[in-house]
Amino acid sequence: MREIVFDTETTGLSHQNGDRLVEIGCIELINRNETGRTFHAYFHPDRDMPVEAERVHGLSIGFLSDKPRFHEGVEDLLAFLGDAPLVAHNAAFDVGFLNAELTLCGRSIVAMERMIDTLAMARSRHPGAKHSLDALCTRYGIDRSHRIKHGALLDAQLLAQLYVELCGGRQIGLGLGETVASAAARAAAADAIAAPAIRAIRPPRPHAASPDEIERHEAFVATLINPVWTLTGPAVDATGRPA
């Protein structure tokens, strides 16, 4: 199964208010394993870059000034995406910006049914915990020491690792390459468990006390004072109280 994990960087938080997509990074997965194929592009936003956004991703309008517009790179992006399911963290945000750009250049938008949201997956698995990409990488032991600022391709690479962990880790592939010999061994083990156990009958062991043990027991009993088994009832005085 082919899937694409992607992340975006933008000029702000609201494409409805004119913010634009300036970077996209995509990672290809086949059967939840990275293939090494990626797509990465910067885009000129045709507007200024707010200081707050630049602090997050470090992309200045000067850096983006010679980059292509989205419509100039859309063909390569769509060819890479194909018809694969798309994975994003807080998918509504990323696909919202992607669809806004696709709409501006007259292309079909991405249906939400095609999206897999790792934020929703994390909230379901870890209710009440922190669900940012940084917090989840820490939880799952994913190295992010090289992440100084947000970057679409770097974040997509981290997200690809996180997505695999949220899906059950690398164990999801176990058993797919099972050999005939290992299958036969497991079947034999199952048969052995299901078959009724046959136990060898052993002769009973002698358990009577020896003459020496009887003699020592009688010597011990002789030392007891008023043992309970010699009394016919509790000793009482004339009033019926215990003597």
Q: What is the pTM of this model?
A: 0.69
Residue 81 has pLDDT above 90, yes or no: yes
Edge-to-edge, what's the strand order for the sheet holding 115-117?
33-42, 21-30, 2-10, 86-88, 115-117
CATH of residue 36's domain is 3.30.420.10
Rounded Cα distance between 6 and 85, Å, is 11
Rounded Cα distance between 182 and 1, Å, is 25
Instruction: Give which of 5, 85, 88 is closest to 40, Cα–Cα.
Output: 5
Residue 108 in domain: yes
Residue 167 in domain: yes
Residue 223 in domain: no
pLDDT class of 179 with cuts at 50, 70, 90 = very low
Residue 225 in domain: no
Rounded Cα distance between 65 and 236, Å, is 112
Residue 73 in domain: yes
Rounded Cα distance between 70 and 43, Å, is 6
Q: How many domains does the chain have?
A: 1
- CB–CB of 28/35 below 8 Å? yes
The reply to whether 150 belongs to the active site is yes
Residue 53 in domain: yes
Residue 159 has pLDDT above 80, yes or no: yes
Which tokens in the block code for residue 9? 């960087």
Structural domain including 77 reads 2-171
Residue 243 in domain: no
Residue 211 in domain: no
Residue 45, number of CB atoms within 10 A of its CB: 24
**Which residue is catalytic, options 40, 44, 150, 217?**
150
pLDDT tens sequence across 107-137:
999 999 999 999 999 999 999 999 999 999 9
Q: How much is the pLDDT for 193?
A: 39
